[in-house]
Amino acid sequence: MARRIMHIDLDAFFVSVEQVENPQLKGKPVVVGGRPQGRGVVASASYEARTFGLRAGMPLTTASRLCPQAIFIQGSFPKYRDASQRFMAILADFSPYLEPMGLDEAYLDATGFESIHGSTHQMAAKIKQRIKDELGLTASVGIAGGKIVAKVASELSKPDGLLEVAAGEERSFLAPLPVARLPGIGKKTEQKLNSLSINTIGKLSTMSLSALKSHFGASGEVLHRFANGIDDREVKPPAAAKSTSRETTFGKDTRDRSLLKSTLRYLGERVGADLRQRGKRARCITLKLRYADFTTITRRHTLAQTTDSDQTIFDTGLGLLNKALSEERQAVRLIGIGVSELVEAGKQLDMLDTSARRQEQLNKAIDRIRKKYGFTAIQTGRTLKLKDIFPEDGEGYTLQTPSLSR
């Protein structure tokens, strides 16, 4: 049976959630990302804002210059996470073969579901209707024989679109489109292709495999398949995350060690809470720093024993931070901490080690209080310092990029 793969992506997701909450924002140029003079970037722009050239990833200062009348919203991650969960739950009602990609998009394998809904097209229309009725959001859906063409189709149909590419028509559907439309082709690859006078996907599909490999190495083969509309990748339920991390950009580049430490402590506690909630322990701790000139470094440390303790995450991160700062004189723009090499928590704790046991009990008690009263209800002396710097919203501090603070 020919495969029918759907790609579903919500339109202007963060902005649309804000518009549902506050209908006065509908039909206007709206940006979620932060204050217009802030240092962040546009996370999401309404389609009205896009007519002024605004795009995700654009510095907010540029956005406000191009469109001074735009309404800038800080946003709030928990709200988008909730909407995302409700969106995914609707999709799961239609097919168990579901692969979420980030918050607002997913692939769904609809092969064999035609008879239930009349056609795959009608199934997609029903999905869109439920998203509209229950969330007040519009989605765009692409349908094709494989993931890559389904995704190109949904993007092409935006906003509020529905585009089906008939079986066998994948290659001719892609042919007239510019190469940049093919997912995976970034600015660099696009420029290189254009310099070879390859401007359309059709032209790309006629390039020989050996020529593509000589220009792009191993990814040349993938380019060749995708340009020809060939994509056998299955729709797979997501594997459990293999790592977790938190990071933030400072309002001003800083050399203040005590601020760096406090922020590291706070981010480390969020990572620790995340680990414990998922019943995991980690063996590897990674510190990330971005300096004023945008140079970014990561430093990792592998522990002798796995951990889920805030104290160990912080102590290890602090060791890495002190070492990094002794090697570099520049001010710090961004700091982050993460854990990886995760294992099931189980009973790996060395029970002879009473200090480890005490730490575990302490972390559990803290998690319980936070669950009930919010993350900042209980704090170490170190993170209290952040009170003067970052706003709180009950769920925790709102760091530099509010729409992504979690």
Residues making contact with ligand TTP (CB under 6 A): 9-14, 43-44, 56-57, 103-105, 158-159, 404
Report the residue number, 9 or 247, with the smaller CB distance to ligand TTP: 9
Q: Give the nearest distance from C-beta 406 to ligand TTP in angstroms.
A: 12
Rounded Cα–Cα distance for residues 403 and 406 (Å)? 9
202-221 binders of Mg ion (CB under 5 A): none
Report the residue number, 156 or 175, with the smaller CB distance to ligand TTP: 156
Closest of 370, 260, 281 to residue 324, by C-alpha? 260
- Taken in order 95, 97, 103, 104, is the CA torsion positive or negative? negative
Q: Which of Mg ion, ligand TTP, none interacts with 185 (beta carbon under 5 to 8 A by kind)?
A: none
The enclosing H or E element of 182 equals none
Q: Give the nearest distance from C-beta 102 to ligand TTP in angstroms.
A: 6
Q: Which of ligand TTP, Mg ion, none interacts with 87 (beta carbon under 5 to 8 A by kind)?
A: none
Report the residue number, 285 or 404, with the smaller CB distance to ligand TTP: 404
Report the residue number, 16 or 244, with the smaller CB distance to ligand TTP: 16
Residue 36 in tokens: 């217009």
Closest of 291, 243, 270 to residue 386, by C-alpha? 270
Q: Which positions are annotated as active-site residues?
A: 105
Residue 171 in tokens: 């290659």
Residue 381 in tokens: 């002396």
Q: Which of ligand TTP, Mg ion, none interacts with 43 (beta carbon under 5 to 8 A by kind)?
A: ligand TTP
Q: Which of Mg ion, ligand TTP, none interacts with 56 (beta carbon under 5 to 8 A by kind)?
A: ligand TTP
CA 74, chain centre distance (Å): 17
Cis amide prior to 29 (ω within 30 degrees): no
Which residue has 């020809």 as its token pair? 228
Closest of 123, 93, 91 to residue 9, by C-alpha? 91
The enclosing H or E element of 148 equals helix 147-157
Report the residue number, 155 or 341, with the smaller CB distance to ligand TTP: 155
Q: Which of Mg ion, ligand TTP, none interacts with 57 (beta carbon under 5 to 8 A by kind)?
A: ligand TTP
The enclosing H or E element of 341 equals strand 332-344
Report the residue number, 9 or 308, with the smaller CB distance to Mg ion: 9
**Residue 289 main-chain phi, psi, to 5 deg:** -130, 140
Q: Give the nearest distance from C-beta 31 to ligand TTP in angstroms.
A: 10
Q: Which of Mg ion, ligand TTP, none interacts with 144 (beta carbon under 5 to 8 A by kind)?
A: none
Q: Which of ligand TTP, Mg ion, none interacts with 226 (beta carbon under 5 to 8 A by kind)?
A: none
CA 226, chain centre distance (Å): 24
Q: Give the nearest distance from C-beta 177 to ligand TTP in angstroms.
A: 16
Residue 165, helix vs strand vs coil: coil
Rounded Cα–Cα distance for residues 46 and 192 (Å)? 31
Q: Give the nearest distance from C-beta 6 to Mg ion in angstroms.
A: 15
CA angle centred on 246, ends 241 and 247, rounded to 5° = 140
Report the residue number, 99 or 310, with the smaller CB distance to Mg ion: 99
- Within 8 A by CB and 6+ apart from 143, the residues are 4, 5, 6, 7, 110, 120, 121, 124, 150, 153, 162, 163, 164, 165
Residue of 7, 13, 173, 397 that binds Mg ion (CB under 5 A): 13
Q: Which amino acid is at 32?
A: V
Binding flag, residue 104, Mg ion (CB under 5 A):
yes
299-358 binders of Mg ion (CB under 5 A): none
Q: At what angle do helices 120-135 and 77-94 cross, to 10 degrees?
A: 150
Q: Give the nearest distance from C-beta 114 to ligand TTP in angstroms.
A: 27
Q: Give the nearest distance from C-beta 76 to ligand TTP in angstroms.
A: 12
Residue of 9, 109, 247, 310 that binds Mg ion (CB under 5 A): 9
Give the residues lining the site for Mg ion (CB under 5 A).
Answer: 9-10, 13, 104
